[in-house]
Amino acid sequence: MYPDRLFLKAFVIMMVWRLHKVNEFLAVLAAPTPEMYSLRGPLTDPQGRVPSRWTWVRRLAAVLATLPVQIGSLGRHQGALFQPWTDYARAAAIDSPVLRALGGVWHKKDREDGGVPHISIDPEVHWTTSSWHGWVYGWKLHLVCTAGRVWMPLVAERTPANAADNLQAPGLFQKFPMELRLLLGDQHDRVPDLEQRCTRRGCLVMTPTGGACPHTDDGVEVHRILHTTRSIAIENWLSGILRSVKLLYYQLLMSTYRCSNILRSESSGAPDF
């Protein structure tokens, strides 16, 4: 059995090189250059074996399923290593961007009938709607990251798009760093349970006040600065990560479906990887 760490290394390499298919990754890795030779060593198991193509597809898809946990763990490790709170405000931004599924959509009628009409449809995702995006079939990434000059993910959790933000936010609290003193969120993040937990830890939840614009209440300029800080932190982190993740996830999903269909069609079966 190949260790999970091997496939996590391969996933990072694919992200950096913007390789969205396993075939592309294996072709680049097989190039006869000193750089590729140095990379092939860490991508073998202790016995020197290299996974087959189908193993790469299946195990990389499994890495993607746990990617939010890996993102949060990496961010908290970076926070403990670089100590961003010593130079910048102890603030973090929380958001739950919708990730549109790449491929087909599973309509309500087909879902009720229990049939998936096309292999490009991911049956694990769901529908959601908003005034900005309209109806979207996909996932939500519930994300908390540092707000300042350095953008580090602190907590990440993936759910189907129909998961309610106000029910997910309190569950993220357990992984908040103890140093956090200001949590910048949206209106739906003003959840009494979350506010009470943050207050007991000495953290203040800041969200928009709502109502018609322009606001003229006291402190409107402070709220505007905090809202801008939150938007910059979230958007900059997302723009650098999620575009490649979505494309890679879709390609691996399609490859997994194709491999599963081939395995079912072969009477002799395939070796157990």
Whole-number Å distance between alpha carbons of 96 and 40: 37
Residues 129, 205, 231, CA angle at the centre, nearest 5°? 55
Whole-number Å distance between alpha carbons of 171 and 110: 32
Query: What pLDDT is attached to residue 240?
Result: 59
Whether the predicted pLDDT of 210 surpasses 80: no
Mind listing the pLDDT tens digit for each residue in 84-143?
A: 777 777 888 998 888 888 778 888 888 888 888 887 788 888 899 877 778 989 888 888
Least confident interval from 217-226, 230-239, 244-253: 244-253
Query: What pLDDT is attached to residue 265?
Result: 44
Banded pLDDT at 6 (limits 50, 70, 90): confident
Tokens representing 222 are 């402070």
Residue with the larger pLDDT of the pair 20 and 164 = 164
Whether the predicted pLDDT of 256 surpasses 50: no
Q: Estimate the crossing angle of helix 4-17 against helix 220-265, to 10 degrees.
A: 120
Q: How many Cα atoms are found within 13 Å in the side-chain-facing hemisphere of 145?
A: 27
Side chain identity at residue 100, one-letter code: R
Mind listing the pLDDT tens digit for each residue in 26-72?
A: 888 888 888 888 888 888 877 778 888 888 888 887 887 777 788 77
Write down the pTM of the prediction: 0.70
- Cα–Cα distances in angstroms (integers) from residue 95 to residues 1, 4, 66, 177, in the given order: 37, 29, 19, 17
Query: What pLDDT is attached to residue 51?
Result: 87
